[in-house]
Amino acid sequence: MPTLIKNNVVAVDDWRVVQDGSEALGQSRVIVPAPYAIDHASTLFADGHEIGIWLEGDAELDGVVPLLDRVSMIAIHFPAFNDGRGLSLAVLLRTRFGYTAELRAIGDVHTDILHYLRRCGFDSYLLPDGRDPAIALTALDSLTDFYQGSVVQPLPAFRRIARGRIAA
């Protein structure tokens, strides 16, 4: 069974991913494919249910942007360990489009990249079956500071540190 890590703790996953968006009608806390959400937005979001959408790593955000204020969660699917396109989508959603709700990584989520996922704006991670959540939590805290800026800390180190002191 997949394990959810949210806000740096193992959490209960009360969202359900549906492959066919029509299963979502009348339900709350379901994650539907983005194309379905775009095509059926008027009925899907009309009931006031919490709806999430999932994007593939190669998704275009043009159709999703008008829905961002109604979407409770966006899940970005990573089809393979070496496919980093979802990281770019996360950065765009957080920085360019100002998305502030939950951003979840799903699919082939490896513990090796959890710190990158967090720096790009993800705040929850659905680990596949067989992944040890204790190792994943350790991986999230393995690196504590970075030279480069990110979604989490936009200022690079040289802007944050002044003569050995942390700048205010």
Q: pLDDT tens for residues 59-87? A: 889 999 999 999 999 999 998 877 788 89
* 44 and 32 Cβ atoms separated by less than 8 Å: yes
Which pLDDT band holds residue 52 (cuts at 50, 70, 90)?
very high
Domains annotated on the chain, with CATH = 3-166 (3.20.20.70)
The pLDDT of residue 94 is 94
Query: End-to-end distance of the chain based on CA atoms, in angstroms?
Result: 44
Q: Can you tell me the distance from the alpha carbon of 13 to that of 91, in angstroms, rounded to the nearest whole number?
A: 24
Question: DSSP per residue over 92-118, as a string?
Answer: IIIIIS---SEEEEEES--GGGHHHHH
Residue 163 has pLDDT above 70, yes or no: no
Q: Can you tell me the distance from the alpha carbon of 129 to that of 62, in angstroms, rounded to the nearest whole number?
A: 33
Q: Can you tell me the distance from the alpha carbon of 145 to that of 137, in angstroms, rounded to the nearest whole number?
A: 16
Task: Go through the chain and tell me how many residues it has.
Answer: 168
